[in-house]
Amino acid sequence: MSTTMTSQNPTAERRIRIPRPVYGLAAILAIVAVAGFTTPSFATLDNLFVVIRAASLTGIVAIGMSYITISGNLFALSASSLGALLAVLFALITAQFGFAAGVVLTLLLAGVSGVAQGVAISLIGNPIITTLAFGTVFRGLAALLSGNSILRIESDLALWIGTARPLGIPTQSWAFVVAALLSWFVIRHLKLGREIVLCGANPQAAIASGLRVGMVTSVACIALSTGVAIMAMLTVSQFSQAKADLFMGYDFDYIAAVLVGGIALRGGRGSPLQAALGAILIALLQNFMLLNGFSAGLRMTIVGFLVVVSISLFHVLQGKSR
């Protein structure tokens, strides 16, 4: 009598799970390689600084936007309008009371706007409609306070912060790196960060477990508003002026960075670092297309297609990992 023994090796059936940021890094390296070989003007130090500054300003806001998405609230469509309002307020306050007062009060006002949006989202339940309405209010206030004119500031400290390159790196990029690392630490190592992830993964279960879903939504909105404030102040400091139509149409760039970075659209999965990588990838691609004379319409089409492909790819990968 013979017996046939069958053995199963559970490790053989395990799929190797590649962290999502790896895909972003691979795409960035691919763009750098292709652009460097095909476009000589791409691989210059001056152009590198252009890309870094562009990626930093978009990335700072995208990092804040990642909190909105991870918390399960999709996106905020008020970021660019809030940026215009905070830029106008920063210019007005700085002109009257000085740079330090401008920074402190602008950040405080950003926090207030974040709380207001968070409370409204919790009450209304629709982040898209709510933030779209807030965006209209913010843009209107920016036009009203500025009188639809250019506001100029005269501050040597502000100009230095906006144009300086400590250790050869723009101040915007230092702020970008600090924001990315700090946001990653909050999500991965603080109780508040874990609550943000859990609320995004399953809001009903979070409520049943006693988690503060409304508070989490407000914190996510404050994170976005703070990122917008930093971006607005750096922009005003760089050019020494502000106006109500600043950042018009930039909301798609912030959202695209989040999606291209691979943060789960439904919430509950992802890291601010992924949004940072998404911003870098898009800035590199936009710069490459500009240097090669791509039209504005073609650039928008390619970036939009990249977003669609990214969403589809990460959705497939998420399905296979279950």
Backbone φ and ψ for 241, nearest 5 degrees, come out as: -160, 160
Domain boundaries, the chain: 19-32+40-321
Backbone φ and ψ for 268, nearest 5 degrees, come out as: 85, -5
Q: What is the pTM of this model?
A: 0.89
The half-sphere exposure of 95 on its side-chain side, counting CA atoms within 13 A, is: 15
Q: What angle do CA 61, 66, 67 make, to 5 degrees?
A: 105
**How many CB atoms sit inside 10 A of residue 213's CB?**
20
The amino acid occupying position 218 is S
Q: Would you give per-residue pLDDT tens digits along the chain (322 residues)?
A: 444 444 445 444 455 566 767 878 888 899 999 999 999 899 888 898 889 888 999 999 999 999 999 999 999 999 999 999 999 999 999 999 999 999 999 999 999 999 999 999 999 989 999 999 999 999 999 999 999 999 999 999 999 999 999 988 899 999 999 999 999 999 999 999 999 999 999 888 888 888 889 999 999 999 999 999 999 999 999 999 999 999 998 999 999 999 999 898 888 888 999 999 999 999 999 999 999 999 999 999 999 998 888 888 877 766 655 5
Architecture, CATH, for domain 19-32+40-321: Orthogonal Bundle (1.10)
Give the E-state strand segments of the chain in sequence order: 151-152, 241-242
**Residue 239: partners with Cβ closer than 8 Å, 6 or more residues away:** 162
CA distance 69 to 199: 11
CA distance 284 to 298: 16
Q: What are the beta bridge partners of residue 152?
A: 241
**Residue 163: partners with Cβ closer than 8 Å, 6 or more residues away:** 171, 237, 238
